[in-house]
């Protein structure tokens, strides 16, 4: 009996429990979402230049949101026909700063990919963790892929290539090793800190003395100095002339004829070869970054098309 009634009671409580659990999960989800502050419903695609069809915008919006959860980066895609006199870099950085973007909150981590028809440039602006996760080489790789599409006039393809690149490179093992950073929700800012390259362990005094390279350099230095010293001594053993062409001159020079006549002018023109490419940086994974006019750190790079 008791068991039965218990069972019955359970019947009713089971539905309620299910509801409670659902509410709890929803609450936790909402809480987690609230904590990460990522707005999955917000607009991710801003096609101000009208380069995409509405279905393309729709697909890109969905892809951007799902990729955002995957990469913990807010992905923003922008086109513009009028950069307002700004460079592509400034336009992209300012758009990101002004738009309340960022995975952790305002000015948090994210990537903005811009097609700037005004400057004829594609620009990838990284912020927060994205600066670290997508290093300079990877920025170039993403731009390479996007560039192949944009020169075809395939704008949607440009964005999807960029999206695939961001998704891949932000989650791979490689990242800029020269910087670290942290998001401060109170200040709503992400601080990028440059890490000094780890100094090599200072060798001990005796290690320095025994070190054959150091000893060799010291020996060469000492030998050169000693050689100069003895050479100077030997030179001092000799004497040099202390007269010059004026010593025995008597009176001043009397000039009979002094003429400097311009006879003709010749001219040679040549074409200067300009250096075609600037040399790349050294090895290692490096993320470079700069400060936007809004006072926030951004990384990234762009390419003219």
Partner 1 sequence: MVVSYKCPQCGAPMEFDPETGKLSCAYCGLITTIEALEADPQENVQFETVTEKPETVQNENGTFRVYRCPSCGAEMLTDSVTSATVCAFCGTPGLIQDQLTGEKRPTKIIPFALTRQQAVEEFRDWSKGVFLTPRNFTQASTLEKITGVYVPYWLHDYRTQIRLDAHCTRTNVVRHGDEETTYTQHFNVVRDMDVDYSRIPTDASEKMDDATMDLLEPYDYSDLKTFDMPYLSGYLAERFTYTAEEMEGRARNRARSFAEQTARGTISGYGSVSIVNQQINFRKTNEEYVLLPVWMLNYRFKDQNYLLAINGQTGKRVGTLPVDKGRANGVFIGLFAGLFVLLTLLGGLL
Q: Which stretch binds partner 1 (CB under 8 A): 106-114, 121-129, 186-194, 251-259?
A: 251-259
| Interface residue with partner 1, options 8, 208, 290, 304 (CB under 8 A) | 208
3-state secondary structure of 12: helix
Order of strands across the sheet that contains 110-116:
45-47, 74-80, 110-116, 121-127, 297-304, 289-291
Q: How far is Cα 107 from Cα 40, in angstroms, rounded to an integer? A: 16
Judged by CB under 8 A, does residue 265 bind partner 1? yes
Residue 152 DSSP label? T
Subset of 186-205 contacting partner 1 (CB under 8 A): 205
Closest among 287, 71, 233 to 165, alpha carbons compared: 71
* Residues 44, 66: Cα–Cα separation, whole Å: 11
Q: Which range, of 119-127, 158-166, 212-220, 283-291, touches partner 1 by CB under 8 A?
A: 212-220
| Spatial CA neighbour of 128 closest among 161, 99, 106 | 106
Residue 305 Cβ vs partner 1, minimum distance, rounded to whole Å: 25
Stretch that binds partner 1, among 111-119, 138-146, 152-160, 246-254 (CB under 8 A): 246-254
* Interaction of residue 230 with partner 1, rule CB under 8 A: yes
Q: Which stretch binds partner 1 (CB under 8 A): 28-36, 93-101, 121-129, 206-214?
A: 206-214
Whose Cβ is closer to partner 1: residue 1's or residue 237's? Answer: 237
Indicate which single residue of 256, 276, 279, 282 sits in contact with partner 1 (rule: CB under 8 A). 256
Identify whether the C-beta of residue 124 lies closer than 8 Å to the C-beta of residue 96: no
Per CB under 8 A, the list member of 2, 4, 201, 234 interacting with partner 1 is: 234
Specify the residue, 55 or 269, whose C-beta has the smaller distance to partner 1. 269
* Cβ-Cβ contacts under 8 Å for 136 (sequence gap 6 or more): 176, 281, 286, 287, 288, 299, 301
CB of 277 to partner 1, least distance (A): 17
Place of tokens 């150091």: 214
Whole-Å CA distances, 205 to 198, 212, 215, 218, 220: 21, 13, 12, 15, 20
CA angle (44, 45, 50) in 5-degree steps: 165
Q: 138-177 mask for partner 1 (x: CB under 8 A)?
A: ----------------------------------------
Residue 233 CB, shortest distance to partner 1, in Å, is 5
54 binds partner 1 (CB under 8 A): no
Which residue in 1, 12, 16, 243 binds partner 1 (CB under 8 A)? 243
Q: Which two tokens stand for residue 123?
A: 């620009």
Enter the tokens of residue 71.
Answer: 């990469």
Residue pair 145/165 in contact (Cβ under 8 Å)? The answer is yes
Residues that bind partner 1 (CB under 8 A): 205, 208-209, 211, 213-215, 217-219, 221-223, 225-227, 229-230, 233-234, 236-251, 253-272, 274
């Amino acid at each position: 009996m008791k068991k039965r009634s218990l069972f019955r009671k359970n019947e009713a409580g089971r539905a309620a429990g299910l509801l409670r659990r659902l509410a709890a999960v929803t609450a936790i989800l909402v809480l987690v979402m609230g904590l990460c502050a990522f707005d999955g419903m917000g607009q991710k695609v801003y096609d101000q230049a009208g380069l995409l069809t509405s279905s393309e915008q729709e697909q890109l919006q969905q892809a951007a949101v799902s990729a955002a959860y995957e990469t913990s980066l807010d992905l923003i895609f922008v086109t513009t026909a009028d950069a307002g006199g700004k460079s592509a870099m400034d336009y992209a950085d300012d758009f990101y700063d002004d738009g309340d973007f960022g995975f952790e909150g305002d000015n948090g981590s994210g990537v903005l990919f811009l097609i700037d028809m005004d400057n004829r440039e594609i620009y990838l602006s990284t912020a927060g963790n994205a600066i670290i996760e997508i290093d300079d080489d990877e920025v170039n790789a993403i731009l390479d892929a996007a560039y192949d599409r944009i020169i075809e006039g395939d704008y949607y393809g440009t964005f999807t290539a960029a999206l695939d690149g961001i998704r891949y490179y932000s989650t791979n093992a490689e990242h800029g090793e020269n910087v670290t950073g942290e998001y401060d929700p109170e200040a709503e800012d992400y601080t990028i800190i440059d890490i000094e390259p780890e100094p090599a362990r200072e060798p001990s005094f005796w290690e320095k003395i025994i070190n054959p390279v150091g000893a060799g350099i010291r020996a060469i230095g000492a030998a050169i100095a000693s050689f100069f010293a003895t050479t100077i001594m030997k030179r001092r053993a000799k004497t040099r002339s202390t007269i010059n062409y004026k010593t025995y001159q008597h009176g001043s020079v009397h000039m009979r004829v002094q003429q400097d006549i311009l006879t003709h002018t010749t001219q040679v023109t040549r074409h200067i070869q300009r250096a075609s490419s600037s040399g790349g940086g050294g090895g290692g994974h490096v993320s470079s970054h700069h400060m936007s006019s809004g006072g926030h750190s951004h990384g990234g790079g762009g390419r003219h098309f």
